[in-house]
Amino acid sequence: MTTIDLSLFVIALKICNYNDFVSLTLKKYTMNNQTKKTVAITGSGSGLGLELALGFAKKGYTVFGATLSQVEIDVLKNRLENLDITFTVADITKEADIKNWVSFVNSKLKNNGLTILINNAGILTPGPMEVLQLNAIRKEFEVNVFGSIAVINEFLPLLRKVKGRIVQIGSMTGRFPLPFSGPSSASKATMEAFADVYRFELKPFGVEFVMAQPGNMLTGGPAKTAAQLKQVSDHMTAEQKVLYDKYFGQFATILNNMQAAGLSAEAAATRVIEISEQVPAPIRATVGDDAAEILQMVREKSDEELDEFRMKFFGFDKLN
């Protein structure tokens, strides 16, 4: 490289760094100084979604939440006094519901754009893959994957207006699949892949895409999960029980214990809000120490070592 070429290279590098600095500064200014910051949250009627709605509202955001039923909204009325939160009944597996919700949000924003979208809604379908009904697996993907994509795409015009941010609530199981949790692990892994695609495709428009990766959370879900696990076991045939009941029962016990000791909904929400406002935006961010430890292990261990860890963690090695 000649002296002239080297000089031009240095100048170009400085220009790139300067442009990055200006872009980062403007992004930080926009995030911190927008007149009224706004956030839309799916699955906001309970658990993590509700704590996110309350947390953002207390920070001065205008919050638009989507819930599955009017009953959830009625129950929450007393907790919403003096908070700028508006709930809408919307099933994210129904295109018409999503369009109506986004249209309502747009009318309230007066075409000013949306600062943050939190894709939080999700379901869990535990059980042996051989035992699970295909319709149950399809339902999980309808909510966790197709519903998430539909919500993102519908809100993108509003997000582009203010160079907003999408935060997808995934799970550590998206990178560390668990036995007897196939549909959930697979749907979360699918959104991990889509996160990479969206991040690159939306970069030219200044819209950021962040994947939040929670570990175990005490968000009101453990009791529901325990009931689901029991229901799956109760509906196994005699042959299926012989094949799977011992291992599935062990998994159910460990999973219930893990969730019961998980991060509180309030603590998880605090962390997700922190991620949502972090500048520059992280590509992925863990929620909870267990998620951080597990995903660090995934990066460092071989597949064989991870399989051995699963066996020992769930106590399957002692059941043979």
Residue 173 is classified by DSSP as: G
Reference 220, options 55, 43, 85; nearest CA is 43
Mean pLDDT of 70-95: 90
Q: What is the pLDDT of residue 268?
A: 96
pLDDT of residue 121 exceeding 70, the answer is: yes
Q: Write down the residue that tokens 């339902």 correspond to.
A: 139
CB 159 within 8 A of CB 109: no
pLDDT at 112 over 70: yes
What does the mean pLDDT of the chain come to? 88
The per-residue pLDDT for 43 is 95
Which of 18-32, 177-191, 253-267, 303-317 has the least mean pLDDT? 18-32
Give the CATH H-level superfamily of domain 34-219+264-300. NAD(P)-binding Rossmann-like Domain (3.40.50.720)
Three-state secondary structure call for residue 92? coil
Average pLDDT over residues 87-114: 96
The H or E element containing residue 162 is none
How many angstroms separate the CA atoms of 272 and 31, rounded? 16
CB atoms within 10 A of CB 204: 7
Q: What is the mean pLDDT of residues 26-32?
A: 45
Nearest to 154 by CA among 205, 111, 89, 103: 103
Neighbours of 145 (CB within 10 A): 18
CB 217 within 8 A of CB 209: no
Question: Taking each helix axis from N to C terminus, what angle separates 182-202 and 148-161, rounded to the nearest 10 degrees?
Answer: 20
Torsion on CA atoms 77, 78, 80, 81, rounded to nearest 10 = 120
Given a cut of 70, is residue 317 above it in pLDDT? yes
66 pLDDT above the threshold of 90: yes
Residue 294 in contact with residue 215, Cβ under 8 Å? yes
Domain extents in the chain: 34-219+264-300
Q: Is the pLDDT of residue 21 over 70?
A: no
pLDDT digits (tens, 9 = 90+) for 39-54: 999 999 999 999 999 9
Q: How confident is the model at residue 219 (pLDDT cuts 50, 70, 90)?
A: low
Q: State residue 131's pLDDT score.
A: 93
Is residue 222 scored above 90 in pLDDT?
no
pLDDT at 288: 95
